[in-house]
A and B are shown apart, each in its own frame.
Chain A
Amino acid sequence: MLHLPRPLTAALALCATLCAGPVTAEMTKSLNINGATGLIEMPSGEMQDDAAFSFSIANAGPITRATIAFQFSERLSASFRFNTWRDWNKLFPADPKKFTDQSFDIRYQVLKEGQYLPSLSIGLIDLTGEGLLSSEYIAATKSLGERFKVTAGLGWGRLGTDGSIGQPFGTRPPLAENDKDKPNIDQWFRGDAAPFAGIEVKLTDRWTFKGEYSSDAYVLEDSRGIVERSSPFNFGFEYQKGPNTRFGVYSLYGSEFGLVFHMILDPKNRATGGVMGAAPVPVKARPSRASDPDAYDGGWVTQSDAGPLLRKNLAKRLSVDGITIENMAFTAKTVEVRIRSGRIEAVAQAIGRVARALSHVMPASVENFEIVPVVNGIGASKVTIKRSDLEALEYAADNATLLRSRVIFGDAGPVPDYALGTGKLYPKFRWSLKPAIRTTEQLKGDLGARLSASYNLQPGLVFSGSVYARVYGNIKSSTGPSASTLPHVRSDGGLYSTNGEIALERLSVAWFTRPASNLFSRVSFGYLERMHAGVSGELLWKPVDSKLALGAELNYSKQRNTDGMFGFDEYDYDIVTGYVSAYYDFGNGYLGQIDVGRYLAGDVGATISFDRVFVNGWRFGAFATLTDVSSAEFGDGSFDKGIRFSIPLSWALGNQSNSSFGTSLRNGAGDGGARLDVDGRLYDSIRDYHGGALDTEWGRVWR
């Protein structure tokens, strides 16, 4: 093998990087075996395309890595990774055979690639874990022509363990036991720094060769006798299959063999290129007032059968799109219709369909269409469309923007006194039996079936319950109580899973109301979730066009028995918890939330979360909770953090459906920073119907 002095290799690569010519075309920004943009194990200066969501699984020697990563913005990416070391006990028979750890990374692109400048990124790897992978880097990548890319970088921490050039920013303090699971700020860019470099050559449209010089000495694995690193050079081939999948096979450390599979999804693009589903009915044009003045006479309102007839006709038209009329009220000039949309996930589209249907059903004298989407039985907002605007703009250029400038988004307000009523909608019983995946702790959970039922007594008042039966799971039946020194409000999750093969998850009553304009409220009582029962109340202030929302929640709960039945004697634990919350819509689908209050174990602290939501229903984000318990008490993960995502089925299949698939991945189910898992929290159920969300999807109003 070629043995160039290491700094020289890096210098050569760096020169090639900076002395590069213009770019002609772009090569794929490929991922490494850690599921981050890069070479084989080393990172690069590049980023994935905005919003890219990737899932990677790699088997590299004795280590398995599974990573979920998303490009939160053009320059910022985050990833969450599970690592499993096999043969962990090779030299230490007392240790477990396998060792698992999670890591959370953040990467930021400082420079985008230009004609002469490389792309440049900095990254913090495993910044909140036990520090087994903790490292920081700065890396630059430059394309040379259409088929060649070169990367050079400098790494610290694990990435600074081989070929160090010194400690430019001082020594790296060891990670104190107390600081584990918290951001390792004191260590960042400290200690030995070592250069790394690599190349990527596109051989054909599908095949790529990668070679790298790694600065990771594999000290930990070597000390456990599971990796014998004989070379700093890694190389291998990657195969791109379609836009969404990529495979790689590598020679690693001169002694191991690695395989990787990546699945890369683009939330911004539907598999079908756009939302499918039949065209809407055309707007029905009224005769001109001059040609038929009688048609505009409002005398019809006095006919006794007008209401039921109009409602029946409207219901027939809306049922095609899965839209239900909750209530309806009209005068000679205005109609207010309260609707629930079951199938069309874009509220704007449902509103457009209702307006079109109204143009067919309502007599010509009715000029104002007020459409109120109903969620949990309460009006979420009111969209007022002038019928004449609908008629005039149907075929106009840029009709969505023009219509938006003429409609009014307002508070739903109370149901008018003269409304027709909810008809036969209440009381209503529904049930379903569906497969369900439940995760109890990291990579542990079960597959089962969930039987759910609900009984809607009247708008806003619903009794509901669900029973979950485990079919298959990987939680060991020998799981005992956790070793947590806090009340075991979450950490006995394994016991709940194994003791309650068939368990009552929820059995509660919820009451949703609109106490005043811009205010929403919820009270829930009963078996609220699988581990706790009690009462929960919430109040939300959210004007329709406000980016800011404020909320308050107060709960009293008792911990349930692990058998998933009705009793409470196993834990003698009850507590009052509560939060004040601020929600902010930053625009373009970026949402932020801060909750401050008292958590289930009695700890006091705050949760901060950021999410990115897409019009088509995709959603991903990250959250972190810090409370006043010491990390020793906190159990697994003293500082609870994780990522969450949700993928709508309509995105994958192109059809219209409200179902989605998603989960949140956190490190461990610790007792610190835990919250009651109540159904129907207000902000998330209301937001889709308010200004920010409705505006971003407004393009679908004419769909």
Chain B
Amino acid sequence: MGPGVALKLSLKLAAAVIIMAVLASCGEDKYQGSPLVQAVGAVAKATVGKAAEKRASATAVAPAPVTRADLEKFGVPILRAVIAARGADALLTMSDAKGSIITWSTTDGTTFTLRNGVLIQTRGLGPDLMSAQAPSLAALQTDGSTHQRIYFLLGADDRGTRRSYDCTVSVGGREVIVIFGRSHTVTRVTENCTRPQDKIANEFWIEGSVIRKSRQLASGGAGFIDFEQVVD
């Protein structure tokens, strides 16, 4: 087969593919757009996502344009979540409250469930934290206390998996942190967790009986999430 033939063949194929793409989106019994269109969409999204990530990292040092006054105007509690691995920074509102367990939601339907400020579930991240055996707030305020922490994850193969850690709480000194222009006097707490494969540390900045700020592991894929309780 000469190069001319190959070229003709690929032109024919290209024409066929274009015809396919045009034909692809007819019909009533489909729930989605055509696979081809979807694939293109996914690629476009990924590209946009990358660009957004780059932008996010470039502007990370710049102050957020939103002020506390803007946020307090809404009159609802607001939690900020930053997922470094995703270049994501979102302000969340409550979508469910059951006692000390509060589920916070982004506008696009990703949720984070925290029990007294301790992350116990995520939904919509992809590699989600399905449930957790996590320490109570009281345990996190007791220096030297130990506990077992278990992450129940939905693995990339869609099967439930677990990661189990042995953790020790270390209560540090007092610090002053600033969240959206407001100062908070907090106690810094580190939860050091180990398992044979690795070790992680979750960090909490506790103001009285409120976890004002934290840095908590969600899952292997999503990494750590930084939370800030902006508006109570």
B162 interface neighbour in A267, A398, A431, A696, Cβ under 8 Å: A398
CA distance A471 to B21 in the complex (A): 13
Across the interface, which residues of B come within 8 angstroms of A331, CB to CB?
A: none
Across the interface, which residues of B come within 8 angstroms of A661, CB to CB?
A: 35
Tell me whether A279 and B130 are in contact (CB under 8 A). Answer: no
Say if the beta carbon of A438 comes within 8 Å of chain B: no
Tell me whether B124 and A430 are in contact (CB under 8 A). Answer: no
Across the interface, which residues of A come within 8 angstroms of B158, CB to CB?
A: 270, 274-275, 346, 614-616, 697, 699-700
Tell me whether A431 and B42 are in contact (CB under 8 A). Answer: no
Tell me whether B110 and A702 are in contact (CB under 8 A). Answer: no
A659 interface neighbour in B32, B134, B155, Cβ under 8 Å: B32
CA distance A429 to B35 in the complex (A): 23
Interface residues on B, range: 35 or more
Q: Chain B 26-55 against A: per-residue CB contact (8 Å), 1 yes, 0 no?
A: 111111101110110010000000000000
Per DSSP, chain A at the interface is loop
Q: Chain A 649-664 against B: per-residue CB contact (8 Å), 1 yes, 0 no?
A: 1001111011101000
Across the interface, which residues of A come within 8 angstroms of B110, CB to CB?
A: 278-279
Tell me whether B157 and A268 are in contact (CB under 8 A). Answer: yes
Tell me whether B26 and A401 are in contact (CB under 8 A). Answer: no
Nearest neighbor of A322 in chain B, beta-carbon distance: B31
Q: Chain A 631-655 against B: per-residue CB contact (8 Å), 1 yes, 0 no?
A: 0000000000000000001001111
A-contacting 9-mer, from B64-72, B95-103, B190-198, B204-212: B95-103
Of residues 65 through 96 on chain A, the ones whose CB sits less than 8 Å from some CB of chain B are none
Decide yes or no: A400 and B124 within 8 Å by CB, A430-B28, A649-B35, A649-B38 being known contacts: no
Per DSSP, chain B at the interface is mixed
B2 CB, min distance to chain A CBs, angstroms: 13
Tell me whether B131 and A282 are in contact (CB under 8 A). Answer: no
A274 interface neighbour in B13, B28, B221, Cβ under 8 Å: B221
Across the interface, which residues of B come within 8 angstroms of A400, CB to CB?
A: 130-131, 152, 160
Across the interface, which residues of A come within 8 angstroms of B13, CB to CB?
A: 472
Q: Chain B 66-91 against A: per-residue CB contact (8 Å), 1 yes, 0 no?
A: 00000000000000000000000000
B98 interface neighbour in A285, A432, A433, Cβ under 8 Å: A285
Tell me whether A278 and B124 are in contact (CB under 8 A). Answer: yes
Nearest neighbor of A702 in chain B, beta-carbon distance: B130
Say if the beta carbon of B24 comes within 8 Å of chain A: yes
CA distance A653 to B27 in the complex (A): 21
Tell me whether A398 and B150 are in contact (CB under 8 A). Answer: yes
Tell me whether B42 and A654 are in contact (CB under 8 A). Answer: yes
Tell me whether A397 and B34 are in contact (CB under 8 A). Answer: no
Tell me whether B221 and A395 are in contact (CB under 8 A). Answer: no
Tell me whether A276 and B124 are in contact (CB under 8 A). Answer: yes
Of residues 104 through 157 on chain B, the ones whose CB sits less than 8 Å from some CB of chain A are 105, 108-111, 113, 115, 120-121, 123-128, 130-134, 150, 152, 154-157
CA distance A543 to B25 in the complex (A): 39
Tell me whether B101 and A395 are in contact (CB under 8 A). Answer: yes
- Highest count of chain A CB atoms <10 Å: which of B12, B20, B103, B113: B20
Say if the beta carbon of B62 comes within 8 Å of chain A: no
Q: Chain B 155-182 against A: per-residue CB contact (8 Å), 1 yes, 0 no?
A: 1111110100000000000000000000
Across the interface, which residues of B come within 8 angstroms of A471, CB to CB?
A: 16, 19-20
Tell me whether B29 and A397 are in contact (CB under 8 A). Answer: no
B165 CB, min distance to chain A CBs, angstroms: 13
Say if the beta carbon of B61 comes within 8 Å of chain A: no
Tell me whether B156 and A270 are in contact (CB under 8 A). Answer: yes
Across the interface, which residues of A come within 8 angstroms of B155, CB to CB?
A: 268, 274
Tell me whether A269 and B157 are in contact (CB under 8 A). Answer: yes
Number of chain A residues close to chain B: CB under 8 A: 59
Tell me whether B29 and A278 are in contact (CB under 8 A). Answer: no
Across the interface, which residues of B come within 8 angstroms of A697, CB to CB?
A: 158-159
CA distance A342 to B101 in the complex (A): 32
Say if the beta carbon of A548 comes within 8 Å of chain B: no
Tell me whether A435 and B103 are in contact (CB under 8 A). Answer: no
Tell me whether B27 and A431 are in contact (CB under 8 A). Answer: yes
CA distance A230 to B67 in the complex (A): 76
CA distance A342 to B24 in the complex (A): 18
Across the interface, which residues of A come within 8 angstroms of B134, CB to CB?
A: 397
Across the interface, which residues of A come within 8 angstroms of B7, CB to CB?
A: none
Say if the beta carbon of B58 comes within 8 Å of chain A: no
A435 interface neighbour in B24, B31, B96, B156, Cβ under 8 Å: B24
Say if the beta carbon of A168 comes within 8 Å of chain B: no
Across the interface, which residues of A come within 8 angstroms of B150, CB to CB?
A: 397-398
Write 22 A-B pairs (CB below 8 A) sorted by A numbering. Answer: A270-B157, A273-B222, A274-B155, A275-B126, A275-B158, A282-B103, A396-B131, A397-B120, A399-B131, A400-B130, A432-B26, A432-B30, A434-B34, A614-B158, A615-B157, A616-B158, A649-B38, A654-B42, A659-B35, A696-B159, A697-B158, A699-B158
Chain B contacts to A: CB under 8 angstroms: 12-13, 15-16, 19-21, 23-24, 26-32, 34-36, 38-39, 42, 95-96, 98, 101, 103, 105, 108-111, 113, 115, 120-121, 123-128, 130-134, 150, 152, 154-160, 162, 219, 221-222
